[in-house]
Chains A and B, each alone.
Chain A
Amino acid sequence: MNVKRETTAKPAVMDTLEISEHQATVGHCFSDNAKMTMRNVNVFYGEKQAIFDVNVDIAKNEVIAMIGPSGCGKSTFLRSLNRMNDTVEGCRVEGDVRMDGEDLYAPKLDVVELRARVGMVFQKPNPFPKTIYDNVAYGPKIHGLADTRVDLDEIVENSLRKASLWEEVKERLHQSGTGLSGGQQQRLCIARAIAVSPEVILMDEPCSALDPIATAKIEELIEELSENFTIAIVTHSMQQAARVSHRTAYFHLGRLIEVNPTEQVFTMPEHDLTEAYITGRFG
């Protein structure tokens, strides 16, 4: 990965574990090979500001993990990447968010097309109350990706294979998706997301409702998917971030504190707050 080193001097107040108003992000925020770029992004819920002045790039085919204490704005950050924040009443996004140079908040941008290019997997598995087949076929159908039934069958099978669910469900494609186990449901949701061939997949704590075995499967899957997709994943589990991601971003009270290669974040974090969090001093 071609990541530029951003030289930011450590501010002198670092020992106090407090963030100053104009805290700049430390570490490797930017990339030459950026898929998505965010510049000076602020997000508000009504009067309350949830995200302060975030600058970061997400590189092509990388897995970037967002970690941080609850309520630090990780999910809000994620949801501003496919404009899912639009569905929240009173939510306002300021700043510049681009994918392949295209402004995602431009008035003429088609949200439907954007969300087809930026897929999302949620915290709680949320398969539709339809059959497994219809769950996966949902996206291809509404975007007209398949002209014939054969095409659609192929898309469904490929997506389920990529989500390593095919072997488990191929006998019961026409049973309800809600009858699967939690881990299978989450992989179904991943299959559903990749069925429309997105370029970026956002994952909002995809394993927090799953048991360790299901979690291991999803993590394995994320690694495989990173060959074809760019993945941004929010997680509460630092081990998970360490296992699956290439870069890790640490959020604190709505500010992006540090972005660095995962190995570095977990061995020698640049910022004291990051260190405090990963060593379990708070969070």
Chain B
Amino acid sequence: MAVTNILILVFGLGVFAFYLGRARSLAIAKPLGGIRYLHSLPSYYGFHSALWCALPALLLLALWVVFDDPLINSIVADSVTGSQAAGDTASYNLLMNKISNVSAGILPRDGRDPEILAAADLMTRLQTLSRWALTALILTLSITGLAWGWSRTSQVFRARQVVENVVEKLLLGCACVAILTTLGIVLSVLFESIQFFRSVPIFDFVFGLEWSPQTAIREDQVGSSGSFGAVPLFVGTLLVSAVAMFVAVPVGLMSAIYLAEYASKATRSYAKPALEILAGIPTVVYGFFAALTVAPFLRDLGESFGLSVSSESALAAGGVMGVMIIPFISSLADDVITAVPQSMRDGSLAMGATKSETVRKVIIPAALPGIVSGIMLAISRAIGETMIVVMAAGMAANLTANPMESVTTVTVQIVTLLTGDQEFDSPKTLAAFALGLMLFTVTLLLNIFALQIVKKYREQYE
């Protein structure tokens, strides 16, 4: 039986076990005079039976799925001893591919080496055996679990505690998945970066002023010396982000203040969702909007003032990115401003302060930690944004602080490094990981900084 079918079966059995356990507890309760005489509610007994039925079986299934293929593969590989036997990893992979394709009937059997054919047959047999064994084991385990859980149901059995315990463990497991995934990503990026730093010194990377990630494919190629100085990229990223924040912070904050303090309920109920629609627009749409509408407009505008604005500029990309970020800031700031206790407003108004004085001198200071952390989140978002900059900021790694020039950002370079045909172990591709690591570090530091600010000012009112 296939794994999906087994899963469905186990879940079906689990549901069945739930009703059996519940029915048994109800049957026990009836002569006693009602479910109040049971230790736990009937549904807890049901869940208890269901958990016993499904959990061990699912665990076994997971283990089986993980260890099934490698085990069979190693047995099959060991059976191949003659001329076809694999020496190194690459030929081993090739061999196993061939065998499994023959076994699955993707490759024709005619004219194959008999040793391969034998191995393929062995693989087919083992796989069938494994599947039947799995089905049988799972079914036995499920039914045994069901019976055990069902038989434990009694008047004094503490099913509630058991179920609560298991629920806690399940939640812990889910939290671990998230944490371990993050850890895995960080470690993989870290190891690839270390490999990169073997060919490019870390000092040259972090402090180098020139970025042209060209590496030679042949030894004698002209212009093959790549330089991997990340400074222009980070300056570009900061420039674009700064332009974005320059647009987003004032507009977002002020619209939040309007929505939270001035707008009537009716206005608010329309304006807030409308603002949040901005957050729902795909970034690629913002991207071509920036490249095709805003950038030419800025260029023409600059020309009329006698300024030369590049047709791909940090200004266009940053400006549009700022618009994209407005809902972030306004929505978060709106939440924290609304959360400032009404007593603060009353206190200030009763002193004879006007509404804007109240907002300026009481509400904003009280809401500051939330506002700052919202801005920090928005900055992280701006730094990580890719699509808009790819389209509107350009590819040229200019080291400049002039927003009217074309710049490039870390994310854009990661995209260009990893698209197209690449050698996977050249410094050029590995540079992407190093950039990713640095970007990750910068955003992490920003987030820690934001958290610190929030912690420092939290609970100042109340």
Contacts and interface: CB of A to CB of B under 8 A. Distances in A.
Interface in A108-135: 111-116, 119-120, 122, 124, 126-130
A231 to B, nearest CB: 15
Given A128-B362, A129-B460, A176-B460, A87 B346 contact: yes
B365 interface: yes
A192 B351 contact: yes
B350 A82 contact: yes
A69 interface: no
B354 A112 contact: yes
A119 B348 contact: no
Interface string B432-462: 0000000000000000000000000000111
B352 A196 contact: yes
Nearest to A192: B351
Interface in A79-93: 82, 84, 87, 89
A130 B347 contact: no
Interface centre among B352, B354, B361, B366 (most CB of A within 10 A): B352
Contact of B346 (A122, A130, A143): A122
Question: Is the interface on chain A under 10, 10 to 19, 20 to 34, or 35 or more residues?
Answer: 20 to 34
B339 interface: no
Contact of A126 (B347, B353, B361): B347
Interface string B248-272: 0000000000000000010000000
Nearest to A143: B352
A115 B361 CA distance: 17
A84 B350 contact: yes
Interface in A97-156: 111-116, 119-120, 122, 124, 126-130, 138-139, 142-143
Contacts of A112: 352-354
Given A129-B460, A178-B461, A84 B349 contact: yes
A87 B351 contact: no
A193 interface: yes
B357 A142 contact: yes
Most A CB contacts (10 A, CB to CB) among B347, B361, B365 go to B347
B345 interface: yes
Nearest to A123: B343
Interface residues of B, number: 22
Contacts of A192: 347, 351
A116 B265 CA distance: 29
A126 B352 CA distance: 15
B341 interface: yes
Given A113-B352, A115-B352, A178-B461, A129 B347 contact: no
A138 B361 contact: yes
A265 to B, nearest CB: 28
Interface string B350-370: 111110010001100110000
A189 interface: yes
A67 to B, nearest CB: 22
A166 B84 CA distance: 95
A128 B348 contact: yes
A86 B215 CA distance: 71
Interface string A229-250: 0000000000000000000000
B351 A142 contact: yes
Contacts of B366: 128-129
B344 interface: yes
B343 A122 contact: yes
Contacts of B346: 84, 87, 120, 122, 126
Nearest to A117: B352
Contact of A116 (B352, B461, B462): B352
A176 to B, nearest CB: 6
A196 B351 contact: yes
A139 B361 CA distance: 11
Contacts of B354: 112
Given A138-B361, A176-B460, A178-B462, A126 B344 contact: yes
A142 B358 CA distance: 10
Contacts of A119: 350-351
Contacts of A130: 365
Contacts of A143: 352
A86 to B, nearest CB: 8
Interface in A172-211: 176, 178, 189, 192-193, 196
B351 A139 contact: yes
B441 to A, nearest CB: 33
B347 A128 contact: yes
Given A112-B353, A196-B352, 19 more contacts: A84-B346, A87-B349, A112-B354, A114-B352, A116-B351, A116-B352, A119-B350, A126-B344, A127-B347, A128-B344, A129-B365, A129-B366, A129-B461, A138-B348, A138-B351, A142-B353, A176-B460, A192-B351, A196-B351
Interface of A: 82, 84, 87, 89, 111-116, 119-120, 122, 124, 126-130, 138-139, 142-143, 176, 178, 189, 192-193, 196
Interface of B: 265, 341, 343-354, 357, 361-362, 365-366, 460-462
30 contacts: A82-B350, A84-B350, A87-B345, A111-B352, A112-B352, A119-B350, A120-B346, A122-B347, A126-B341, A126-B343, A126-B344, A126-B346, A127-B347, A128-B344, A128-B347, A128-B361, A128-B362, A128-B366, A129-B344, A129-B365, A138-B348, A138-B351, A138-B353, A142-B353, A143-B352, A178-B460, A178-B461, A178-B462, A189-B347, A192-B351
